[in-house]
Structure 1
Amino acid sequence: MTPMPNRGYLLKSLPLLFASAVLLAAPALPRPAHAGDVPAFAVDAAWPKQLPNNWIIGQVGGLTVDAQDHVWVFHRPRSLTDDEKGAALTPPRSKCCVPAPPVLEFDTDGNLLRSWGGPGEGYEWVGREHGIEIDDRGFVWLTGNADNDNALLKFTLDGKFVMQIGKVAPSKGSNDTTQLGKPAETALDKAADEIYVADGYGNHRVIVFDATTGAYKRHWGAYGNKPDDTKQAPYDPKAQVSQQFGNPVHCVKIAQDGLVYVCDRINDRIQVFRKDGTFVKEWFYEKNTLGNGAVWDLAIWPDPKQTYLLSADGENNEIRVLKREDGSVVGSFGHNGRNAGQFHWVHAMAVDSKGNVYTAEVDTGKRIQKFTLTSDALR
């Protein structure tokens, strides 16, 4: 028979046993942020606030952040279904809702500050809203990617028309200097007063214009080559690497050191150039990804060295954190789904000066989200 333990021993051991149980049951505390951390984020499920005027947004083609950390959204009112825009029907189908104007400006708290957009005098409005960029001089640049959306529009912050490059008319191909080809996105080089266009859904190039006059400057294709509009075979990860950009050429970004980053979405790669179109290097991501590809948008991290790139992947529905120096993946967040913090076709992305990330979704996603920085990654 096993001897009974001494009663005094049990009484002396109880405090130690109790303390051990508390330590085992206590949740782990988050690790304090340290300078130089890799960017990490938490979704802000309360952002943005409810829109006024019974408004609702559709598919979000583009999203950007201006110098005041205001978030600008370019959405597609015509993508809303009858059940979503029920209050706008004749007779009304339901209490809610009415399509919001296509251009919306929010502050960091999610309050709507400004709205405008749509057809008007002096310009041709796009058939399907896509890209938006705000330059430091107070101008808004818009692109579209419907058939014949082969123009680039420039407005003031209040929606006053300034300039149109190209026409809403058939494309003339990837080596024409007067017309675009369903451009996806733009980037501004303030010092040179130039606008770079990821061109795009129809053409296979990056093209550069004078941002004030609209005059053509230069263009290039993949690897800095002359672009070629010969029909390409469907992407095959086992095939030889394509020497041309696929469709779409979905983003272009310019870093402070003069490097130009281009999203070759279908080909699952980022290509890096100098401003004159000289090819520097390329990186591939999730090379087995088919469908709509793995590289949809990029954002440059706002620390002094611009240490990281954030890369949105709308097919795998995640955002990767990359070292800008070598393209290596050092973190990621997001997952396919429709809950807060998840994505369904994360289409565009931007980061503000405080490291908050904003995302936009197309297809049935039809929403924007905010992710707040939780690590100390801005030093």
Structure 2
Amino acid sequence: MALTPGRARLTRAIAHLARSMSICATAIAFALPQAAAAGEIPTFAVDASWPKALPNNWILGQVGGITVDHRGHIWVIHRPRSLTDDEKGATLNPPRSKCCASAPPVLEFDADGNLLRSWGGPGEGYEWVGREHGIEVDERGFVWIGGNADNDNVILKFTLDGKFVAQIGQIAPSKGSSDTTQLGKPAETAIDKDANEIYVADGYGNRRVIVFDADTLAYKRHWGAYGNKPSDDKQPPYDPKAPVAQQFGNPVHCVKLANDGLVYVCDRTNNRIQVFKKDGTFVKEWFFEKNTLGNGAVWDIALWPDAKQTYLLSADGENNEIRVIKREDGTVVGSFGRSGRNAGQFHWVHAMAIDAKGNVYTAEVDTGKRIQKFKLTSNALP
């Protein structure tokens, strides 16, 4: 049936309107942010405004450790004695310059970068370490720190306000990887809150993981690479073409505990992560950037904060990047960072931590002397 002129104009108008609505809907769909699928691989962007400026003309030296406590607060331990004269010019006699003075060794920040608390250094009833290295804060309100200078063969235990509680070992010569009372320049600690135990990556002098009761500080057990007895015999330099080392290298730089009971150990200069059960039984190992020489490719580990702890993030201070690793099989699925001094770059990224929201905090040593925050930018958490 032929349309009347009026009906034909109405039909054309309706068709034109439909086409316009379709075009608009497409444009809006492209313009709006796309909803991310749950379970995405973690990606990050640096927050160049974090942390906020320190008070009292303070400045950080080399950062020996960083951790996040159960409240989401970020704890840092740095090395005041690593500051050069031009960095601490305001404290010289006479003052060399207006800036700066060292911050106390231990600092606590909130997630926005506000300084909440600071303390540390020599005090009554204990000897402070010669070079600060590693910090852990447990849910019972204790702060554990170590050091890796000569004779720093000790872990010190403090309250959140810096009151000395107890120590493992002594500021004295090491007795080797078979001794159960003295440490060997420990690098890092981890707390098993269920068993009330402290695991020590021990470390720069010894070649082992050692476990103590977190209350009594009594010795529990220790092991070396592959769960075997550790040896202090001199090891040949790392060679990617040689058979894999049967002992940990120096340093054994980190120890981390997963919710499923697996223990992850950074064998830094051997470019590998070894995985154990809590009793020291060897489970598996993964190698990363096997051709890396120098200071090695596996400096620290942090567990992803989802229920399954799906990923490990691993800091590589020689290649200055952070890898995102699938925890089930060790596959590298992403990375960020590179060598440099701009925001988001690294110079010896030494340690790292992750908060419950998936934000990553990093610490740099050598001339890096800074901490950074990287915000989660993907939908990698429920």
TM-score strictly above 0.5: yes
2:4 equivalent in structure 1: none
Q: Deviations over 1:237-257 (max 9, x none)?
A: 000100000000000000000
Q: Distance in 2 between matches of 1:169 and 1:130?
A: 17
Secondary structure in structure 1 of the residue aligned to 2:270: coil
Equivalence map 1:163-178=2 (5 Å): 163-178=166-181
2:293 equivalent in structure 1: 290
2:91 equivalent in structure 1: 88
> Given that residues 102 and 118 in structure 1 are in contact (C-alpha distance below 8 angstroms), is that contact kept between their aligned partners in structure 2?
yes
Instruction: State the Cα distance separating 1:31 from its structure 2 match.
Output: 5.3
2:39 equivalent in structure 1: 36
Pairing 1:354–2:357 present: yes
1:308 equivalent in structure 2: 311
1:160 equivalent in structure 2: 163
Q: Distance in 1 between matches of 2:162 and 2:305?
A: 28
1:363 equivalent in structure 2: 366
Q: Distance in 1 between matches of 2:207 and 2:139?
A: 28
1:51 equivalent in structure 2: 54
Q: Distance in 2 between matches of 1:103 and 1:202?
A: 24
Which has more radius of gyration? 2
Secondary structure in structure 2 of the residue aligned to 1:232: coil
Pairwise CA RMSD of aligned residues?
1.3
Q: Distance in 2 between matches of 1:272 and 1:112?
A: 35
Equivalence map 1:139-158=2 (5 Å): 139-158=142-161
Counterpart residue identity of residue 194, structure 2? A
Matching residue within 231, 239, 246 for 1:243: 246
Instruction: State the Cα distance separating 1:34 from its structure 2 match.
Output: 2.0
Q: Distance in 2 between matches of 1:31 and 1:339?
A: 30
> Given that residues 33 and 374 in structure 1 are in contact (C-alpha distance below 8 angstroms), is that contact kept between their aligned partners in structure 2?
no
Instruction: State the Cα distance separating 1:30 from its structure 2 match.
Output: 6.8
Instruction: State the Cα distance separating 1:122 from its structure 2 match.
Output: 1.0
Equivalence map 1:208-287=2 (5 Å): 208-287=211-290
Secondary structure in structure 1 of the residue aligned to 2:90: helix
Count of residue correspondences: 354
Q: Distance in 2 between matches of 1:357 and 1:199?
A: 25
Worse overlay, 100-109 or 27-36: 27-36
> Given that residues 61 and 129 in structure 1 are in contact (C-alpha distance below 8 angstroms), is that contact kept between their aligned partners in structure 2?
yes
Q: Distance in 1 between matches of 2:329 and 2:302?
A: 16
2:25 equivalent in structure 1: none
Matching residue within 188, 205, 208 for 2:208: 205
Q: Deviations over 1:283-320 (max 9, x none)?
A: 00000000000000000000011000000000000000
Scaled by the length of structure 1, the TM-score of the pair is 0.92
Q: Distance in 1 between matches of 2:32 and 2:293?
A: 40
Scaled by the length of structure 2, the TM-score of the pair is 0.91
Instruction: State the Cα distance separating 1:32 from its structure 2 match.
Output: 4.1
Instruction: State the Cα distance separating 1:123 from its structure 2 match.
Output: 1.0
Q: Distance in 2 between matches of 1:282 and 1:329?
A: 14
Q: Deviations over 1:105-145 (max 9, x none)?
A: 00000000000000011111100001000001000000000
Q: Deviations over 1:166-194 (max 9, x none)?
A: 00111000010000000000000001000
Gaps of 5+ in 2: 1-29
Percent identity over the alignment is: 83
Counterpart residue identity of residue 130, structure 2? G
1:13 equivalent in structure 2: none
Moved segments of 4+, more than 3 Å: 27-32
Counterpart residue identity of residue 107, structure 2? L
Q: Distance in 2 between matches of 1:332 and 1:108?
A: 23
Equivalence map 1:2-151=2 (5 Å): 32-151=35-154
Q: Deviations over 1:315-336 (max 9, x none)?
A: 0000000000001000000000
Q: Deviations over 1:257-294 (max 9, x none)?
A: 00000000000000000000000000000000000000
Structure 1 pair 166/57, CA: closer, same or farther in 2 (3 Å)?
A: same
Counterpart residue identity of residue 216, structure 2? T
Q: Deviations over 1:171-218 (max 9, x none)?
A: 000010000000000000001000000000000000000000110000
Instruction: State the Cα distance separating 1:153 from its structure 2 match.
Output: 0.2
Q: Distance in 2 between matches of 1:141 and 1:274?
A: 23
Q: Distance in 1 between matches of 2:136 and 2:198?
A: 10
Gaps of 5+ in 1: 1-26
Secondary structure in structure 2 of the residue aligned to 1:266: helix
Pairing 1:323–2:326 present: yes
Q: Distance in 2 between matches of 1:364 and 1:347?
A: 12
Q: Distance in 1 between matches of 2:36 and 2:376?
A: 10
Q: Distance in 2 between matches of 1:29 and 1:205?
A: 53
Q: Distance in 2 between matches of 1:152 and 1:295?
A: 22
Secondary structure in structure 2 of the residue aligned to 1:282: strand
> Given that residues 127 and 145 in structure 1 are in contact (C-alpha distance below 8 angstroms), is that contact kept between their aligned partners in structure 2?
yes
Q: Distance in 1 between matches of 2:177 and 2:372?
A: 35
Q: Deviations over 1:60-92 (max 9, x none)?
A: 000000011100000000000000001011111
